[in-house]
Structure 1
Amino acid sequence: MSSTEPPSPLPNNNELAMQRTVMAEKRTELAENRTELAEQRTELAEKRTGLSIERTDLAELRTELAKERTRAAEERTLMAWIRTALSMISFGFGIDRLFTYLDRTETAAGINRLTEERVLGLSLMTLGLVTLVMAIINHWTMLKTIESKNYKYGPTWSQGLVVATVLLFLGLAAFIPLVVGGVQMAEVFTLNSRVITTLAALIIFILMLSLGAQTSPSSLVTLWQQPNLLGRSLLATLVLFPVGAAVIGYLVLSGGHSGVGRVALGLGVLAAAPGAPLLSRRASMAGGNPNVAISLQVTLALLAIVTTPLTLWVLTQLFAPIDASADYLAIAKQVLLAQVLPLGLGLALRKFSGEQAENVGQLLATIASTLFAVLLVFALGISIVVLPTIAWRGLVAIPLIVIFGLACGHVLGGPEISVRSAIATGTIARNAGMALFLLAANGAGNAIPTVIAYVVIGAVTALPYNVWAKRQTKAMDNPA
């Protein structure tokens, strides 16, 4: 028989009570430990909070100190610009007084008082005054920006680069007559000046070089990969616009006085000079596709060696008001040297140097754009006397031509609004620099005021279209 173990005796109530007491004491100890740990965590949190407050105070102090340093740097910058402006004003005043003294003592009897004694000095004084005004405005704007709560650094235009470029222009204008034989200083300030011709050619060369250096292969072939769009773009810029400009000019200018001849000549040269160097910027202002604009710009620049002289020849043969006689092979050579050659060099530079070429191209584009603006102002200053003599018919013809060009480019640009605006802008954006160069180089400087009038009136006329197209592009990109 198997024996069974007796059951273990159950603990009595006293033992259970003692065990519960022991467990309660342990729980109490654990609770006390947790309380101590919580208190320690609270103390650490308070210390961290205190350190955070101290760090915040230090950060605010560093921010204020940084603002003070920036403000002090701005003050030093302003003082530097004041010294620069004072130097230019003093130097210009000294040049003017020196030649005045020489003139009074009859030491320099052959000096032309208007163009040789005073222009360089007055130009330096004017540049000094303008620089000082720009520095004051820039300084005040920067101080307001620093004092704002949401101050963040952002890229701004370089005043120093602008002033340096203007000084470069003045230096070239004074230097070229010294190295180019047969050019007198007085000839600098004429519309047929070889100085203007040389500067225009140099500026176009740099602009085309920078365009080639900044053009990526993908942007270059944007239109080439779309033959239909390329054909319509070339139809608008190289055929319809020149024909429309010639017809409108012929109808509006017919029956006018003798001054309409130079207006017609200026419009004809503009019609034959497509592909403005700053086309991509103008297209972006109208919400245009930048790749399409760049591709169209490069394509027109490459074709200009053929299309420019050919268009001029056709227009001069068909329309009597365009009274011009020129060597068209010489014009083709001028276009080749001033536009096609630097563009090819820039494209080759971009291919072999990559991003470095693009950086150099951006710098060259900034310098050349500023030089071009100064050249336009310079030409405007020379033309100010003859601008009022432009026939009113010419002032009427320009906006009509611009509207016609916008319509052609918009209609032929296809269904996409960004492409339409790019083609429309490319149609009316003529190469004013090349037109200035061709007119001055071929003895037709009296037509330069028409080019300047087209630049100004054309920009104003196209402004409503640019605003509308940009709004349409934004609406397409961000549908409600």
Structure 2
Amino acid sequence: MDLQELIKLCLQASVIISVYALGLEATPKDLVFVLKRPALLVRALLAMFVIMPVVAIVLLKWFDLPHALQVTLVALAISPIPPLLPKRQSKGGGHSSYALGLMVCMALLSLILIPLWLHLLGSIFGQSFSVQMGAVTLVVLKMIIGPILAGMLVRALVPAAAQGMLRPAILLAGWLLPLAGLIVLLAMHSALLEALGHGAWIPLLVFIVIGIAVGHILGGPDADSRLVLAVSTASRHPGIAFALAAFNFPQDRGVPALIALYLLVSIIATIVYMKWLAKRTADQPEAAES
């Protein structure tokens, strides 16, 4: 097994186990949370699948970016919500039902919206784009829908066992993710250093910060909803972005390193945002009392 296969295995295992752990705590009400709140769903769709692809197009039109960075931005912009999102948001106080329902809903909608955006992008840039929808569907089923349903099934049939599995699953997933990150740094350190040296992190950071701002604004007055939508809008699914880029531009070998760089920058940016929002929320009652 080479390093690339080991990275893929660790990332997939971490994601699948994390989502399975979410399923161990999830209820059917969580899955339909956003469907019963159409205003939240429409704002999420607008933020994640309309505004962010437009932001990527504007960045490509306004700035003379390297081709690999162009491919990375477009692939990320039309990729759906990442499967690790609810766990990350719950640490910051985000509404877990909203996060979980949004994750499932966006994953399913991506099967329709990704081909539509590829067609629009082809018209805008005068180039034909396509994707193996079987590969995207497999990612969605294997990494999101399947593990959630499996966890929910265990919870429904053997609730005591589900409670016993929860902590070990979270711990295992928590160890696998940094292990994968360490392997990525070791395997791609030259490409990552080159991307950093060329300033590739700046357009990625701009994309992420705009995503956080858009989600924060469209999230509404509730702090938890703002947190969920802000982090959701800035975050994308690296697995599907890899699949889109590899199918359309297999010759761009710098894309995997740029997607890895995006993951690193997005984690740092969202942590800063969550700390800022938590402090702002904590300060508001004090300001009101004074």
TM-score after normalising by structure 2: 0.81
Q: Which amino acid aligns with 1:341?
A: G
Report whether the alignment pairs 1:423 with 2:229: yes
Gaps of 5+ in 2: none
Contact kept in structure 1, 2:211 and 2:234, CA below 8 Å: yes
Distance 1:464 1:476 in 2: 18
Is the contact between residue 372 and residue 433 of structure 1 (CA under 8 Å) also seen in structure 2?
no
Q: Are the equivalent residues in 2 in contact too, given 1:272–1:309 (CA < 8 A)?
A: no
Residue 465 of structure 1 is matched in structure 2 by 273
Equivalents in 2 of 1:272, 1:359: separation in Å? 37
Residue 296 of structure 1 is matched in structure 2 by 102
1:216 corresponds to which letter in structure 2?
A: T
CA apart distance, 1:355: 5.3
Q: Is the 8 A contact 2:13 2:176 kept in 1?
A: no
CA distance in 2, matches of 1:361, 1:436: 30
Deviations 1:379-429 (A, max 9, x none): 121111112332735322112111211121112111222221221112112
Whole-angstrom CA distance in 2 between matches of 1:285 and 1:338: 21
- Amino-acid identity (%): 26
Assess, with a 3 A threshold, how the Cα gap between structure 1 residues 197 and 460 changes in structure 2: closer, same or farther.
closer
1:300 counterpart SS class: helix
Q: Is 1:241 equivalent to 2:40 in the alignment? A: no
Quote the Cα distance in structure 2 between the aligned partners of 1:421 and 1:299.
18
Distance 1:268 1:358 in 2: 41
1:411 equivalenced with 2:222 (yes/no): no
Structure 2 CA distance for aligned equivalents of residues 314 and 365 of structure 1: 40
Q: Take 2:115 and 2:8, find their aligned partners in 1: how far apart are those partners?
A: 18
Q: Quote the residue 1:365 is aligned against.
A: 170
| Corresponding residue for residue 229 of structure 1 | 40
Tell me the equivalent position of 2:28: 217
SS at match of 1:430: coil
Query: Judging changes above 3 Å, is the alpha-carbon distance between structure 1 residues 334 and 422 closer, same or farther for their aligned structure 2 residues?
Result: closer
Q: Distance in 2 between matches of 1:466 and 1:402?
A: 14
Alpha-carbon offset, residue 439 of structure 1: 5.9
More contact order relative to length (CA 8 Å, sep ≥ 6): 2
Q: Does 1:446 align with 2:254?
A: yes
The structure number with the bigger radius of gyration is 1
Query: Structure 1, residues 19-59: CA drift from partner, whole Å, max 9, x if none?
Result: xxxxxxxxxxxxxxxxxxxxxxxxxxxxxxxxxxxxxxxxx
Matches within 5 A, 1:124-143: none
**What is the Cα deviation at residue 434 of structure 1?**
5.0
How high is the TM-score relative to the length of structure 1? Answer: 0.52
Please state if 1:263 is matched with 2:69: yes
CA contact 1:273–1:435 (8 Å) conserved in 2 = yes
| Structure-2 change in CA distance of 1:312 and 1:206 (3 Å) | farther
Q: 2:67 and 2:128 mapped to 1: Cα distance?
A: 6
> Residue 470 of structure 1: CA displacement?
0.8
Q: How does 1:3-402 map to 2 (within 5 A)?
A: 177=1, 188-189=2-3, 193-252=4-63, 254=64, 256=65, 260-312=66-118, 314-315=120-121, 318-319=124-125, 326-354=131-159, 356-390=161-195, 392=198, 394-402=200-208
CA distance in 2, matches of 1:283, 1:244: 24
Unaligned runs of 5+ in 1: 1-176, 178-187
Contact 2:89 2:228 in 1 (8 A): yes
